[in-house]
Amino acid sequence: MTLPSEHLSPTEAARRLGITVKALKLYERKSLVRPMRTGAGWRVYGPEQILRLHEILALKSLGLPLAEIGALLAGRATDLDRTLALQATALTERRAGIDRALVRIAQVRAALAAGAAPSTAEVLALARETAAGTAHWGARIAEHYRRHLGDDGMARLQPADPALWTGLLEELKTLSTEGADPRTPAAQDFFGRWIAASEAVSGGDPRLNAQAYSAWMEALDDPQTAPALPIGKAEVDYLARLGAAAAS
């Protein structure tokens, strides 16, 4: 199928945006974006749809759940300038945090060069500044991971595929919100892919998996971390139901 250069197939649109085709389908099901159709009925994404997807991804990067993004964008035309302004504000705040962290690091390094060991208060301040400068949910939950896995466990974790996990987390939220029967083939197919992705990170080590689960549960109980996480206890409970259905 040959498409005009300004129109992209779902596969190409997902590749260029750094997401999965499943994520595109999820956004369509949530009525966040409506792809165009060719004469043969194939989905294609033109300039307007790409702008809308940029808005969705920009708002997601600010930590907004899809339900809030849908409410924010409902009935509104795409507005690249508005979205860029939101991104600029968020990035400016992050940059300010990073700048503060860099200043703190330079101060501690200068003290070390002069032969002065930093005090506990200085180390704690450095930890706070560094955490603020990387205020993303992945960085926040990493604190809980380190507490439960330790340095050895953290070193054994394999790099995760961000696009894969973004799609899986969105699927999980959708299945949980819709109350999909965990016994259905579609739900079990998702659970199989979730387990495969988890084992790719943990190397299939059941101890690491158990520690990671404990880290997530602790993070979900932490009022400072929980609001920034992409899923809540409802989704974790649904995962447990999927596991029970798979074992039955």
pLDDT tens profile 137-164? 666 677 788 889 887 888 888 877 777 8
pTM above 0.85, yes or no: no
Cα distances from 111 to residues 116, 118, 123, 124, in angstroms, run 5, 7, 12, 15
> CA 213 to CA 124: how far, in whole Å?
27
Note whether 182 and 244 are within 8 A (CB).
yes
CATH 1.10.1660.10 boundaries in the chain: 10-73
Q: Write the DSSP string, 149-170.
A: HHHHHHHHPPPP-HHHHHHHHH
CATH number belonging to domain 10-73: 1.10.1660.10
Which amino acid is it at 2? T
49's tokens: 């749809």
Report the range of poorest mean pLDDT among 2-6, 12-16, 233-237, 238-242.
2-6
CA distance 114 to 234: 52
Backbone angle region of 75, left / alpha / beta, with phi > 0 → left and psi within -120 to 50 → alpha: left
